[in-house]
A and B are shown apart, each in its own frame.
Chain A
Amino acid sequence: MKGLRFLLTIVLFSSFVIAQSEQSSDKQDKQAKLELPTVKQILDKYIEATGGRKAREAVNTMVIKGKVEILPVGLKGDFESYSAFPNKLFTAMNIAGLGKMLEVFDGQRGWSVDPMRGKVEKKGMELQQISIQAMLHKDINLDKLYQDMQVTGVEKVGDSEAYVVVGRTSKEADLSRFYFDKRTGFLVRQDEVVFTQEGKFPSVIFYEDMRDVNGIKVPYKTTTSLADTMRIVITVSSVELNVEIDDKIFAEPK
């Protein structure tokens, strides 16, 4: 779903700026480093908190549906996402007044489609990013997907404290920052630089409202904060696991 948000903003000419973490400071970092857990401990706790590796690995397909709202420009629409193990993805946003926008990855090739620009095949870093984004089990394999992961400190996310883990998917990729809630273990925030053929865009995604779906925890609200320029809020209405998905949906869009 991440890619679609950027597709939308490119079409609408938005600008993206990475949001400053709330109340972060060097002082906090230095204090926290004294008692920081390891990357493995943090990721293990996250996997456990979201249902455990066994339950997560048992998920072969996932269908998410919900609503999307783009602020402050006031766009609204429907959102749906179909994922299949290991790495197939189809996401669609149907925005009122704009039409349907797609992001598709068939396991090897990826495309974006929007009513104005038509179909565009993904290349280079953009293709690499969607190939990772499409991995259904990526959240339980972060240590394999990201290189040189390190715990850098503790920062506040909202009212809670979170461990900050950094890493990058390749030498060419920018550093990604993951924020895991100290208490619950959930991933609550993710900072990334997203590649598109139009340029690089820093993004900050907040994950909220974790709910149980057949034994695994799924965020029912994600807010992609593009600084104070734009926020894309997806509110999930339903999540289905291991339902049959017609493979045709992942084929190259016409």
Chain B
Amino acid sequence: MKGWVKVFAVLFFPVCFYFQDASVNSEEVELRRQAFQKVWQTVNDKHYDETFGGVDWKRIREIYESKAMQAKSRSEFHKILNEMLGELKISHIGILEEEDVSQIVSRSKTGIIGIEVKMINAEAVIFRVEKGSTAEKAGLKVGFSIKEIDGKSVDEILSKIEGYVLSIRASDKLKRLYQERFLQLWLEGEPGTKVVLEVVNEMDQRRTYEIERYKANYELSEQLGNLPPFPVVFEARRVAEKVGYIRFNAWTVPQIQKLRAAIKEFSDTIGLILDLRGNPGGIAGMASGLAGLLVKERISLGTMKGRTVQLNLIAYPQEETYSGKVVILVDHGTGSTSEVFAVGLQENGRAKIIGEETMGAALPSYIEVLPTKAFFQYPIMDYRSPKGIFVEGRGLVPDVKVFQTRKSLLEGKDLPLEMALQEILK
């Protein structure tokens, strides 16, 4: 499916809607009334900032309640709730419909061609080609610029989410991430079907490729309460004899065992590169867990403050800790728990951060189920780095800013990764 719904479902602060008819009988009206009340009241009572960032939350209710209750469908109702929540202009808040959650799960079995796309200078550039994938076999290479997918131009495809991105007041970094995820979804489909790509290759020639999709077979994390299962991607290898490299797509529970095993495997190395580019977050406690494998003394990764409680996020050194250099790669798609982890180690002097400024979406949150069956995510605390920096809306500034270019990718260079290697080997 190429509906743009899915793109938001794969993010950790998903806000999406689709069209679904629901007869507005009295039972439905009551469910919506309860759902509206739940959403508005929860924010009113629990939002970490009692000033709501200057937004008059009571006035917001007056504006949106009647509008929401007049919605013609349940999806439209949820869309209006999202608009209301969007007034707060923060991350980790929104409504995700039941169907979108099932799409996250079904995505693990979707058909893919084995490439990862990044928006680089407004171009859709192939950033990664999986070994043995149909894309590799067809001849697609890192650095190729995608111009059309199944006869539709990339610009035309991206125009479909333009309105939505505007409606949620997404930052440029977030917009870029949405664009990448959306294009990724356009590449997916039923296993066995084909996708036609028109690309510009390394010779600046337009070429057409017809590539068969194969079953993704992603591992799924287990459902964690109201947090749906999530496809798990994990990669650990040596990028030099004495340098380990670990990449994972989200902070989900199955990753921690893999992280422990990989770090143990790399115990003889002089440096470790943790690639958190495109990692939008996950279970926050995992940041402490991974940090605990990298530090010899207890450190704070920052503080979280709700209306009445302040929590210090501590990493406890574990029995076998890694003692080599640590470099963390970040970009605009690095969000939430990834930001907490990176800034925590950065400010404690344990890691050097290389790459682009991060998403700036770092708020611990809960997910509840509404009477209308949708999932409601809301932040319960703010987050400040060990030095007191409010990361939400700002992002993390790397120690070394390195921007990926298409030219370097075509030359087979991943600039931030190369910089990380230099940093470790110097």
Chain A residues near B (Cβ < 8 Å): 10-18, 70, 72-76, 96-99, 114-120, 197-202, 227-230
Contacts and interface: CB of A to CB of B under 8 A. Distances in A.
A15 B379 CA distance: 10
Nearest to B317: A118
Contacts of B227: 73, 97
Nearest to B366: A73
B90 to A, nearest CB: 16
A70 B314 contact: no
Contact of B364 (A13, A17, A117, A119): A13
Interface string B75-111: 0000000000000000000000000000000000000
B297 to A, nearest CB: 13
Interface string B145-175: 0000000000000000000000000000000
Contacts of A229: 46, 306, 366, 380
B45 interface: yes
Contact of B222 (A70, A96, A114): A96
Given A15-B311, A75-B224, A115-B289, 15 more contacts: A10-B311, A15-B46, A15-B380, A72-B366, A73-B227, A74-B225, A96-B224, A98-B253, A116-B256, A116-B288, A118-B289, A118-B292, A118-B318, A120-B316, A199-B311
10 contacts: A13-B285, A13-B311, A73-B367, A96-B224, A97-B223, A97-B224, A116-B286, A117-B316, A199-B311, A228-B45
A202 B311 CA distance: 12
Contacts, number: 113
A118 B257 CA distance: 11
A74 B364 contact: no
A98 B311 CA distance: 21
A97 B45 contact: no
A15 B225 contact: no
A199 B304 CA distance: 10
Contact of B308 (A10, A17, A75, A198): A17
A115 B253 contact: yes
B402 interface: no
Contacts of B309: 15-17, 199-202
B324 to A, nearest CB: 19
Contacts of A16: 308-309
B367 A10 contact: no
A214 to B, nearest CB: 36
Interface residues of B, number: 41
A97 B285 contact: no
A10 B314 CA distance: 10
A197 B316 CA distance: 10
Nearest to B365: A13
A23 to B, nearest CB: 19
Contact of B318 (A15, A119, A202): A119
A76 B227 CA distance: 12
Contacts of B315: 117
Query: Which of A18, A97, A201 is most buried by chain B, counting CB atoms within 10 A of its CB?
Result: A97
B136 interface: no
Given A13-B380, A17-B306, A73-B367, A228 B316 contact: no
Interface in B193-230: 221-227
Interface string B28-58: 0000000000000000011000000000000
Contacts of A96: 222-224
A144 to B, nearest CB: 31
Contacts of B319: 119
B421 interface: no
Contacts of B224: 75, 96-98
Interface in B265-304: 283-286, 288-289, 292, 298, 304
B284 to A, nearest CB: 4
B307 interface: yes
B253 A13 contact: no
Given A11-B285, A13-B285, A199-B311, A97 B225 contact: yes
A111 to B, nearest CB: 11
A73 to B, nearest CB: 4
Closest 6 pairs (CB-CB, A-B): A11-B285, A15-B306, A97-B224, A13-B364, A74-B225, A116-B289
Nearest to A76: B225
B222 A97 contact: yes
Contacts of A117: 285, 288-289, 292, 315-316
B381 interface: yes
Contacts of A119: 316, 318-319
A197 B314 contact: yes
A230 B306 CA distance: 13
B310 interface: yes
B415 interface: no
